[in-house]
Amino acid sequence: MTTAKQEFLDGFRLVLPILVAPVSFSFITGATSVQKGLSALEATLMSAGVFAGGGQLLALEVWHEPQAWLLVMLAAVSINVRFALQAASVQRKINHFSKFQRWLTIATLTDPAWGMSEVRHLTRQVSFWFISGITVPIYLIWVLGTLAGALLGNLVDDPARLGLDFAFVGIFIALALPFWKKSGALPVAVASGGTAILAKLAGFSALYVFIGAMAGVAVAGLMAARRARQEQA
């Protein structure tokens, strides 16, 4: 077996157990997209071009608000800013890729591709084919799952009766749980969650996520500043 093939299979074996997540996530994203007025084609193109479920769902929430063009970008940036941190870290591990391979890897970076590359890097060099073994199945599932969800979502006339409107919350809870378990997360979560609730109740219908997140980030910054002062003292 060639090295490239072996590397691809290594990545594929690692990602296989978690592929049920993109299956369900993409399906909900497709169904939500058509409920928000996208055609099945548009929903599929969105998944192919954005390839980031959390940002897509959050953008769809504000799709019909006034100044939607600004709000959808704010939604995408605030959910996907984690990719900047992940890409910065991955970039240092893939300098030996060709330029094309490097940009393809960065443009399609996902949480699993990042996490599994970090772990792989502990024992050996990360190859383009290893990352492809992770990303290719996720991408195919993501695009085809969105199409399937969009086509079936078109048949549902009352999404709330199936709890489809709440699937979004389930997804974000599943995304948030690993972060909530980390030490030091509680004050940040309480600040951002509490502020977001107050901002929503106060009528900031589309901006409450952003306002809450800023409060959480501010608390994290203040905690770090206090730690730095204590270390100096």
Partner 1 sequence: MMMDPYNMTLILLVALATFAMRAVGAVVMARVKLAPVSAAAFEAMPVAVLTAVVAPAALTQGLPEAIAGATAVFVGLRAPMAVVIVVAMATVVAMRHVMG
For the segment 28-57, give every residue that binds partner 1 (CB under 8 A).
Answer: 28, 37-42, 45-46, 49-52, 54-56
For 69, phi and psi rounded to 5 degrees? Answer: -55, -35
Instruction: Compute the least distance from the CB of residue 200 to partner 1, in Å.
Output: 4
Sort 57 into a burial class: Cβ within 10 Å, 0-12 / 13-18 / 19+: buried
Nearer to partner 1, 4 or 14 (CB): 14
Least Å distance, CB 32 to partner 1, is 12
Of 49 and 140, nearer to partner 1 (C-beta) is 49
151 binds partner 1 (CB under 8 A): no
C-alpha 78/C-alpha 176 separation (Å) is 14
Q: Does position 104 bind partner 1 by CB under 8 A? A: no
In degrees, rounded to 5, the angle at the alpha carbon of residue 106 between the alpha carbons of residues 81 and 206 is 25
Q: Is the CB of residue 15 less than 8 Å from the CB of residue 133?
A: yes
* Gap between the Cα atoms of 129 and 16, Å rounded: 15
Q: Does 16 participate in binding partner 1 (rule CB under 8 A)? A: no
Residues 149 and 56 sit within 8 Å (Cβ to Cβ) = no
Footprint of partner 1 on residues 201-220 (CB under 8 A)? Answer: 201, 208-220
Under the binding rule (CB under 8 A), the answer on residue 69 touching partner 1 is yes
Q: Residues 1, 2, 66, 88: which binds partner 1 (CB under 8 A)? A: 88
Task: By CB under 8 A, name the one of 16, 119, 140, 170 that touches partner 1.
Answer: 170
Residue 4 or residue 164: which is nearer to partner 1 going by CB? 164
d(CA 78, CA 65): 17
